[in-house]
């Protein structure tokens, strides 16, 4: 990949969602998405809707039909800017997804970058969950209770009592939960979550409620941090936006769009403009257009996502009805290897 040869700008484009089967998912995603899972034998219900998966297809613009992995491979600088493109080496930095859990997910842990690379993978998985909706009493697990030891975890995995050592976090709509790599965690039924994570699908399962799936107890014990930074993150309300979480790999914000808002007005004084941005409609709908010509408008439907590349010309977003806009931007921590090992 020749990064120096990439100079052309890219206009914002919408991505098609990818519906991913999970044994703990739900057969009917309506009203969130107009999708019903295949009921025939050999198929599982849908547990995750991937918004920026490597295999997600571009829906609009000159790249329509291309997979997102192709876009990053062939247009790394246009998507990310020079410095970030060099770090990512043609790979996408973030995977965004909506999680629909009808049953409990496994109790699990994700490796950090160092451990993932030890076993030949490019990066680990730090993530966060923004609660789009929650039933009364909904909760997740994020971390271990104080004083729990690895020996205790191993023993409770064997006797089926690991849940007793988990830190339970009640959730309501609008809550943000941060889950750094190494955190033992679980998602339980009762909520719909927007997950932002490093672009990595590594999961080490500790306990799976008797399902016939592989466990990864040895690697999980190596990955576990007995004390992590996981938990509910209080929102930071600024004049023009609410910062839901801003950590080493990503920043997630809720932005008010009153009529039409220029994209150039979104970055705060403490931010560097010009990087990749994802615009997600948590509710309502919007439209992304060029501020002074340059590309065709891109509709942002409810629960849809638009990628705004680093080299996009000046743009604006219009509220087309009850828009709740979530902006997600990647972060690239100094001194850490964000791309392939």
Residues annotated as catalytic (active site), given as ranges:
205
Collect all residues with Cβ–Cβ distance below 8 Å to 98 and sequence separation of at least 6. 32, 48, 49, 51, 132, 192, 193, 194, 195, 303
Cis amide linkage into residue 31, ω under 30° from 0: yes
d(CA 19, CA 98): 10
d(CA 31, CA 106): 26
Q: DSSP code of 104?
A: P
Q: What is the 3-state secondary structure (H, E, C) of 197-216?
A: EECCCCCEEEECCCCCCCCC
d(CA 90, CA 75): 8
Q: Report helix, strand or coil for 72.
A: helix
Q: How many helices (H) and strands (E) does the chain have?
A: 6, 23
d(CA 232, CA 234): 7
Q: Are 182 and 112 in contact (CB under 8 A)?
A: yes
């Amino acid at each position: 990949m020749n990064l120096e040869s990439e100079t052309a700008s890219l206009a914002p484009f919408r991505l098609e969602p990818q519906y991913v089967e999970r044994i703990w998912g739900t057969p009917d995603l309506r009203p969130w998405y107009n999708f019903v899972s295949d009921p025939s034998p050999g198929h599982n219900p849908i547990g995750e809707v991937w918004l920026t998966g490597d295999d997600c297809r571009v829906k609009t613009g000159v790249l329509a039909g291309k997979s997102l992995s192709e876009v990053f491979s062939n247009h790394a600088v246009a998507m990310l800017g020079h410095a970030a493109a060099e770090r990512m080496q043609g790979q996408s930095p973030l995977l965004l997804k909506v999680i629909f859990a009808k049953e409990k997910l496994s109790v699990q842990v994700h490796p950090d970058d160092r451990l993932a690379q030890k076993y030949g993978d490019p990066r680990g998985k730090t993530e966060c969950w923004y609660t789009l909706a929650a039933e009364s009493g909904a909760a997740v697990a994020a971390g271990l209770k104080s004083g729990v030891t690895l020996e205790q975890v191993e023993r409770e995995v064997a006797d089926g009592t690991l849940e007793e050592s988990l830190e339970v976090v009640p959730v309501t709509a609008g809550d943000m939960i941060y889950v750094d790599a190494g955190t033992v965690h679980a998602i339980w039924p009762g909520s719909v979550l927007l997950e932002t994570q490093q672009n990595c699908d590594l999961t080490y399962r500790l306990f799976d409620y008797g399902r016939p799936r592989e466990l990864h107890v040895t690697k999980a014990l190596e990955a576990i941090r007995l004390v992590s930074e996981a938990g509910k993150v209080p929102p930071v309300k600024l004049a023009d936006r609410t910062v839901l979480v801003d950590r080493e790999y990503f920043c997630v914000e809720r932005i008010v769009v009153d009529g039409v808002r220029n994209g150039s007005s979104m970055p705060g004084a403490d931010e560097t403009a010009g990087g990749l941005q994802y615009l997600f409609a948590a509710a309502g709908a919007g439209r992304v257009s060029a501020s002074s010509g340059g590309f065709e408008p891109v509709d942002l439907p409810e629960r849809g996502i638009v990628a705004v590349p680093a080299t996009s010309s000046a743009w604006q977003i219009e509220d087309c009805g009850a828009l709740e806009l979530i902006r997600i931007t990647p972060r690239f921590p100094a001194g850490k290897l964000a791309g392939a090992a």
